[in-house]
Structure 1
Amino acid sequence: MKPKIIQTIVFLLAVVNLQAVAQKLSVTALQVEHQVNPLSVVPDVPRMSWKLVSKTKDTRQKRYEIRISTTDKVTSGKNLLWKQNKDTEQSVLVNYEGPALKPGQRYYWQVRVKDNHGNQSNWSEVQYWQTGLKAANWKAKWIAVRGADTAQASPLFRKQVDLGKTVKAATAYITAKGLYEAYINGKKIGDAYFTPGWTSYKDHLQYQAYDVTSLLKKGDNALSAMLADGWYRGGLTWDQKKNYYGDTRALLMQINVQYTDGSSETIVTDESWKTSYGALLKSSHYNGEVYDARKEKAGWMTPGYNEDNSWASVAIKDYGYADLTGMSGPVVKEHERIPAVKIIKTPQGDLVADFGQNLVGWVEVKTHGPAGKQIKLTHAEVLDKAGNFYTDNLRSAKQQTVYVLKGSTENVYSPHFSFQGFRYVKIEGYPQELKPADLTAVALYSAMPVTGTFKTSNPLLNQLQHNIVWGQKGNFVDVPTDCPQRDERLGWTGDAQAFYNTSAYNMDVSGFFTKWLKDVKADQHKDGSVPFVVPDVLNQSDAGSAGWADVATIIPWGMYMSYGDKRILEDQYASMKGWVDYMTSRSRNNLWNTGFHFGDWLFYRPDDDNDGRAAVTDKYMIAQCFYANSTQLLANAAQVLGKTADFNKYNALLNDIKKAYVNEYVTAGGRLISSTQTAYVLALQFDMLPESQRAQAADRLVANVRDYGNHLTTGFLGTPYLCHVLSRFGHADVAYDLLMQESYPSWLYPVKMGATTIWERWDGIKPDGSFQTPNMNSYNHYAYGAIGDWMYKNIAGIQPAAPGYKKITIKPIIGGKLTSAEGTLDSDYGLISSRWKIENGKFNITVVIPPNTTADVYVPDASGKSYKQHTVASGEYSFQN
């Protein structure tokens, strides 16, 4: 054999061997600032994350190499901007440490790693991020209609541009006062809805960045957009506040174009644009839309439209750019498409479509008929006891879509700027026989990747999990709303903090809450108090309700534990401190017993309470507990951030707060002045009592639960912690009794009543089929879904033992007659899985631990009374006890 052939064979064998080694270890799921290939990264020091993939047990990262370039050829050539080799296990939120980044520039990056077994991965796929614009980078002008913007109809804007060269790359930056949809050559830019999203507009306004390279062409191009009132100037709250942020809708669009010959051009909104009105006559989140297809301006979004000579010239507005910021959270997108399950005729004669699921979004209609024929869709969550369409609980929200046909062949229509909460839709004026296939419900919510799954041997618990998830979907529409259907839909802070932990199991909410916490900080009052809703459109002076305002500390700390995000603590620290200092300023002798408080909202209140069994908990007693908790979380944050003086200060304050609590609210014998479940739950959850009194307090809590026939009586503030406290203090059997309770009040009562989401009230529909008071009776409220946190942590047994799940605890608790359960969580390190079953008197569990982490696995016996502990690294393991 010739030497050259031998060399070739040796080389090929070496390549095959290298590939085999690399297959043992690979890198995937690259993200920058919790996002995949983001186009408007705001921080000057972005952070990169990735996951290791390896089938070898006990795999840990020993070293990473990152390289970053200004082109997609990420090599060591002249375009290489920065590279770093580092011996570390860190693979989550790694700081960029290279040269200063330029605004509006795209950067390409990839990473490879070496593990503790000596394996080295191949370079990952090339990913990218694009930096956002600074105020000085904006060349576009704000455009609006001329004169007072008093029309209810949506204004249209357009301009035709001639591109004389071949486009290499193009990015569109768009925002609006109001909501916008933008188009290039008749095609919608992006797949987001309700842009630019709802923020504290008085402080900051988001813009979105889109890669529009494929939409532009050499030659004539039509740029167009449509605006609507949205949150900016549309009716808000039950008072229908109009023009809260401003009275004029305006558009700002800038397209930065790079050509193949190396030149560039910027296309902007300016005086050359034209404006008119079209078919969208009204648009409101609460009331819906009115669309008259006869008024469509055919071809207005495409090149060659020659009727815009009759359109009006635009007005230029001097709104500036200082408050503009890139998108830091997920946009709202279309998700599930659900066909109508059946068409029913109610006893009152209404034609109603049932979609089988309470959801948030809109209905897509397929129809045809004569010009001028009007179709009206009215949305509702439930039917009444007799089976009739029910809308009383919507209060003043109409929740209607009106569509006027233009007389052509089949029409397909769905709204543009309005979303509704519904399971049932009443149809009026439909021109043909209505069939289920003519109507499709489209679910709309923020695009948060699903991270968690949960399933047990009990079908009712599985439906409860389903309801929790759909409650999250329906209320995470850009901001965490309380409910999605009536004339409210506001970012209630109490609901959000109560549900945070559950939400972070079900979905990746890192970007969602990063965005919303900016608004919490922005709308926080100068005295440190936090408003009831964020963005704050109630604008009330008596902010700072216990358990609501504590969102300022609870969610930032929750984000740190869920995602290991230290920067969120840095960004929110002043807000956290401001809230705790506010409570201190309102306290006397370390006792916070002043101001307005919602208390344990919607706690158990029986209809005929002649014996004082309504579970009323002293509001100031609750306030003192949350005062302590927020002080504890602030001290924790100070410790993480190395603020030693603050850590010592607030630790000392915490001790004083607890002493004041004991002096004011606890008898010498250890009894609380409010003997409710919530009182004992909060005292135990937040360690308000001396160690010597905690066991007897837990016993009193158990006695209370038993006294109510194994029913809970807690409201929004006590419910999230109820089962946690019981299991922590050795009463997991009682926690299971509450969870498995099927009669009112309980988590499973709504499930038994046919719920597909979480209700606002424990008895939204009473056992006799009648309704709770209609002025506050939502059938899609996520707060009581906070039990999901306990289910993931204690039934599946998945808990973070270190921030971001760098270390994991798997410790399932047996009970509730469950014979099997399984839960998964796709963490920032990879998939965590716990799957167990009881079979032949033995407890069997299989766990999956992702690379670069470790776990303590506690395996109970079939009775759940004794555990065996196993400390493991990454890999799949099966244990029996």
Structure 2
Amino acid sequence: MLLFLLVLAFSLSKVRSIAFEPYSLRTQSLYEPLGIDVKIPLLSWRLQSSEITRDISQVAYQIRAAHHERDLEVNPLWNSGKIVSDSTVITWGGPTLRSRERILWQVRLWDSDGKTSGWSKIASFEMDLLNARDWDPAVWIKNKDYATGNTSLPYFVKRFRISSAISSARLWIVGLGQFVTTVNGQSVTSGVLNPGYFDWNKTIEYSTYNVTAALKDGDNVLGVALGKGIYRAEKPLGGRYYKFLTTPHPMKLIAQLQLNYTDGSCQYMVSDSSWLTTVSGPLLESSWYGGEEYDARKELLGWDTPTYDHSTWKMADISSIPNPNAIYRARESPSIQSVEEITAISVTDQGNGTYIFDFGVNHAGWPKLSMRGARGTTVTMRPAELLNSNGTINQVTEGTPIYDRYTFSGNGIETYVPTYRSYGERALLEEFYSNMVSWIDYLTSKAENNIVSYGLGDWYAIDQSTPVGVTGTYGYWMSANGLATIAYALNRTVDAQKYSDLASKISSAFHTTYFNASAHTYATGSQAADVFALEMDAVPIKEQQNVIQHLINDIRQRGNHTSTGEVALPSWFRMLSFYGHDDVIYDFLSRTDSPSYGYAIIHGATSLTEDWDGPAPARGQSLSSQNHFMFAAVDEWLMRSLAGIQQAANSIDYRILNIKPAIVGNISHVEVTYRTTRGWMKTRWNRIGTAFTLQVMLPYGSIANVYVPGMNATSNYGMLIQVKKTEAMTVFKIGSGSYTFKSVFDVNTKRE
């Protein structure tokens, strides 16, 4: 049938008085980072305007930087001058940066109309300790009296006095396995579970904190409490669950506190034998997997404050770096934050002093308990994802036993919270390029005739028939193809061709080894084998529709169910959508029988699960994790296909987009707002009967091809360019700004 399309445009008659403004300035993708150790950091920004302006983009930028705000204009450390570029991510071009150096910087922009923005708000970053010798004379310290099961975990303090006005103070610290740091009883960060995971035999990842506000005139105390983490993975107390064991390394720390005074002088406090330590505290166990043991009768109330009496504490013991060859690196990833407090939706009395608290949602967190108890009374908290039929907890999916145990001090109401529990940036690609090459070399060494026949296969697949060589070779191809793309982006043309050729050879070998010509499928005929072959471009053009039809037939024969596991599922979504079969995906997502997302949901799952069936195994399998991200490939389909937001294959940094929404089933409204590196973008579509409306908002510097259902389309806005017109759709080319498209849509029209 004929479809009629009307494109509505916002008026552009208003003349802009200024161009767009740069905002959200970041260094190494971080806002106002306190410590970075990348010697040539990345500077980035986004664009914004108070007006809806079309087809405007950044064409040039200018950056200026200085140590002091007063010097930005008249005596900058670096002035880039006007640089013709539409990039919003650039590398530092000023003088070589030094340890502890603080830099202020601004940017201003030119747009495609020749207008200039004002200077942005001032951003800042601080360099970290760039050389190992910058830690001198700090040394690693420990408490050698710690003994598992006989003492508490170690506590450390450093007492010091301040007699002059402080302008700023910075703390560099790392504690192994985990650490909590305070100044005068105040935590130095809202982050938890520090320092995060790293291989301490290769890298020591330290954190930097601004502790200025916590300091005061007179006596001060810097406090550190250490926990085990994964670093000291030993058999925990009370028969608690453990996943693996390592050598019980001594818990230790290294720290450096720099005090900057208003008169320009500075003072350093470093970890050494002058620190005081004790193992007579309340925290007796902090098993990463098994839980925590806390005896409030041994609490050291105020241990990290100046008024506490540390006379019975001993001097710290000198230790050493875990591996002399390990390098110090600043932590750049944001720390884990507590983002929400969840209250139990029900409490069930099981008798015998046992209560079940149901929080209504599977989550990552820890309990907060406030209650009164007689001195020496214990309360045990056991987390679980599932309940048994009699209402008791079931820890089979996590390991058992896992529990936190608290012993009351008897001092009124006590509160307990466990301390420990378990984009155009080419510089990053350059930094890890050799690692990627090494990975390809390793896979090549494992391959026979370009087939890699080892690995775990299509993990948790319904159809277990897919050969390991199918998944292994797909991974080999993905790696080679990805490295070819990266090499092109880095202008390594020889390597790009080398790895592109390798990817082609792998694809060809896959077809030769696994293609079943009579059945129009690959290997055992599993859905995984078909989608891998299609995504690898291993299928000859004349066979592509046959293979996709074989895939669809198998899905239909299974009652509109996938048979893939977590490795093949992303390809399953991508290939069905790429070949125009989003209706098949919709039919699968509408299912509530096993195996499907809907089945897990109606049986009580509140998060993605490790197995398709979630809390109610329907195929004789054992229960698995109830909070697992591995089947989250549907997220990509929701964004790329249903909302229609796709970055073009040749695009970097969201310069070029394809807006191509899939209109399927009885879905009548979809709306997505997404923040790209260039700014916010949005798609919104709805349909009422045959009336279809699509709204698109692009950030500055982006262009897009918009695929709208329709034929004989017209536009009342002359700047829109039609780049393609078929019986199924019209494609428009647009620039930045907001657009509305309307059409009459026939649900029976096949999506191209």
Match of 2:44 among 35, 46, 49: 49
Aligned residue for 1:718?
Answer: 568
* Partner of residue 139, structure 2: 141
Q: TM-score when scaled to structure 2? A: 0.89
1:334-370 CA distance string (max 9 Å, x none): 1111111121235998411111111001011122233
CA pair 75-671 structure 1, distance change in 2 beyond 3 A: closer
The 2-side partners of 1:876 and 1:351 are apart by 55
Give the helix-richer structure, 1 or 2: 1
Structure 2 counterparts to residues 265-664 of structure 1, below 5 A: 265-277=267-279, 278-306=281-309, 308-319=310-321, 323-346=327-350, 350-396=354-400, 398-419=401-422, 563-593=423-453, 596-604=454-462, 614-664=463-513
Counterparts in 2 of 1:349 and 1:796: CA distance versus 1, 3 Å: farther
Where do residues 650-729 of structure 1 align in structure 2 (5 Å cutoff)?
Answer: 650-669=499-518, 670-729=520-579
CA contact (8 A) 2:370 2:416 kept: yes
SS in 2 for 1:591: coil
The secondary structure found in structure 1 opposite 2:572 is helix
Q: Following TM superposition, by how much is the alpha carbon of 1:59 offset from its aligned partner in structure 2, in angstroms? A: 2.2
Partner secondary structure for residue 871 of structure 1: strand
1:717-759 per-position Cα deviation (integer Å, ceiling 9, x unaligned): 1111112111212322212212222211112211222211001
One-letter code aligned to 1:177 = L
Change (3 A) 1:174 1:773: same
3-state SS in 1 of match to 2:646: strand
Judge which range, 89-98 or 811-820, deviates more.
89-98
**Alignment size in residue pairs:** 699
Going from structure 1 to structure 2, the CA distance change for 1:313 and 1:120 (only over 3 Å counts) comes to same
In 2, Cα distance between the equivalents of 1:714 and 1:724?
A: 13
Q: More deviation in 826-835 or 620-629?
A: 620-629
Over aligned residue pairs, what C-alpha RMSD do you find?
Answer: 2.3
Cα distance in 2 between the residues matched to 1:213 and 1:756 = 42
| CA-CA distance at 1:851 after TM superposition | 1.2
Q: Secondary structure at the match of 1:838?
A: strand
> What's the counterpart of residue 514 of structure 1?
none
Q: Structure 1 residues 148 and 399, CA, compared in 2 at 3 Å: closer, same or farther? A: closer
Counterpart in 1 of 2:190?
A: 191
- Quick one: structure 1 residues 241 and 220, their matched pair in 2 at CA, closer, same or farther if it must change by over 3 Å? same
Q: Given that residues 615 and 626 in structure 2 are in contact (C-alpha distance below 8 angstroms), is that contact kept between their aligned partners in structure 1?
A: no
Range 185-194 or range 851-860, more displaced? 851-860
**Aligned amino acid, residue 146 of structure 1:** K
CA contact (8 A) 2:424 2:653 kept: yes
CA distance in 2, matches of 1:711, 1:671: 18
Letter aligned with residue 28 of structure 1:
Y
Superposed CA deviations along residues 380-432 of structure 1, whole A, max 9, x for unmatched, are 11223443322222223x3322122222233222111124xxxxxxxxxxxxx
* 1:820 and 2:669 aligned: yes
Cα displacement string for residues 39-60 of structure 1 (whole angstroms, at most 9, x for unaligned residues): 2212110011111112222221
SS class of match (2:551): helix
Change (3 A) 1:228 1:868: same
Q: Amino acid of the residue matched to residue 66 of structure 1?
A: I
| Conservation of the 8 A alpha-carbon contact between 1:114 and 1:121 | yes
* Deviations 1:274-297 (CA, angstroms, capped at 9, x unpaired): 110211111112111111122112
What is aligned with 1:854? Answer: 703
Per the alignment, residue 783 of structure 1 pairs with: 630
Tell me, yes or no, if the aligned pair for 2:184 and 2:304 is still in contact at 8 Å.
yes
SS in 2 for 1:157: strand
After superposition, what is the alpha-carbon deviation per residue over 1:72-123, rounded to whole angstroms, capped at 9, x for unaligned? 4452244x21111233343432111110111111111122222223433222
The equivalent residue for 2:589 is: 739
**Distance in structure 2 (CA, Å) of the matches to 1:346 and 1:697:** 56
1:455-476 CA distance string (max 9 Å, x none): xxxxxxxxxxxxxxxxxxxxxx
Alpha-carbon distance in 2 for matches of 1:89, 1:381: 52
Provide the C-alpha distance between the structure 2 equivalents of 1:651 and 1:785, rounded to a whole number of angstroms. Answer: 29
Kindly state the Cα deviation for residue 619 of structure 1 after the two structures are TM-superposed.
1.2
Q: 1:583 to 1:322 in 2, by over 3 A?
A: closer
3-state SS in 1 of match to 2:342: strand
Q: Distance in 2 between matches of 1:803 and 1:330?
A: 24
User: Relative contact order, CA 8 A, sep 6+: which one is greater?
Assistant: 2
Residue from 106, 111, 115 that aligns with 1:110 = 106
Structure 1 residues 170, 25: CA separation in 2 closer, same or farther (over 3 Å shift)?
same
In 1, Cα distance between equivalents of 2:71 and 2:543: 63
Shift of 1:579: 2.0
- Residue ranges of structure 2 left out of the alignment (5+ in a row): 1-15, 712-725, 744-752
Q: Distance in 1 between matches of 2:474 and 2:283?
A: 51
1:65-214 correspondence runs (5 A):
65-73=62-70, 75-78=72-75, 80-133=76-129, 134-139=131-136, 140-146=138-144, 150=148, 153-214=152-213
Change (3 A) 1:845 1:621: same
Cα distance, 1:147 vs structure 2? 5.1
| Aligned CA distance change for structure 1 residues 302 and 181 (closer, same or farther; 3 Å) | same
CA 1:239/1:741 → structure 2, altered by over 3 Å: closer, same or farther? same
Query: Taking structure 1 as reference, are residues 772 and 336 closer, same or farther at Cα in structure 2, changes over 3 Å only?
Result: farther
- Cα distance between partner residues in 1 of 2:412 and 2:391: 35
Equivalent residue, structure 2, for 1:39: 34
AA partner of residue 132 (structure 1): D
Q: TM-score, normalised by structure 1?
A: 0.76
What SS does the corresponding residue of 2:512 show, helix, strand or coil?
helix
List runs of 5+ in structure 1 lacking aligned partners: 1-19, 420-562, 605-613
Quick check: 220-229 or 296-305, which moved more? 296-305
Instruction: Please list, as runs of the form range in 1=range in 2, the aligned pairs for 1:741-820 lying within 5 A after superposition.
Output: 741-766=591-616, 772-774=621-623, 777-801=624-648, 802-820=651-669
Partner of 1:499: none
**AA of the residue aligned to 1:639:** Y
**Is 1:63 aligned with 2:60?**
yes
The 8 Å contact of residues 765 and 771 in structure 1, kept in 2 or not, is answered as: no
For residue 335 of structure 1, give the secondary structure of its aligned residue in structure 2.
Answer: coil
User: Is this contact kept in 2: 1:167–1:259, CA < 8 A?
Assistant: yes
Residues 121, 81 of structure 1: alpha-carbon distance in 2 compared, 3 angstrom cutoff: same
Cα distance in 1 for partners of 2:620, 2:515 equals: 39
Task: Check whether the contact 2:154–2:278 (CA below 8 A) recurs between aligned residues.
Answer: yes
2:245 is aligned with 1:242: yes
* Distance across 2 between alignment mates of 1:676 and 1:372: 60
Q: Distance in 1 between matches of 2:479 and 2:565?
A: 20
Per-residue deviation, 1:29: 0.9
Report if aligned partners of 1:142, 1:318 keep a CA contact under 8 Å in 2.
yes
Distance 1:879 1:311 in 2: 73
Counterpart residue identity of residue 297, structure 1:
L
Query: Would you say the 8 A contact 1:279–1:292 is kept in 2?
Result: yes
Paired with 1:229 and 1:332, the residues of 2 have a C-alpha distance of: 17
Q: In structure 1, how many angstroms separate the alpha carbons of the residues matched to 2:270 and 2:325?
A: 14
2:216 equivalent in structure 1: 217
**Other structure's SS at 1:803 match:** coil
Post-superposition offset of 1:808? 1.7
Q: Flag the 1:849–1:858 CA change in 2: closer, same or farther, 3 A.
A: same
Question: For 2:308, what is the secondary structure of its paired residue?
Answer: coil
Q: Tell me, in whole angstroms, the C-alpha distance in 1 between the residues paired with 2:115 and 2:535.
A: 45
Q: Kindly tell me: are residues 310 and 148 of structure 1, through their superposed partners in 2, closer, same or farther at Cα, counting changes over 3 Å?
A: closer
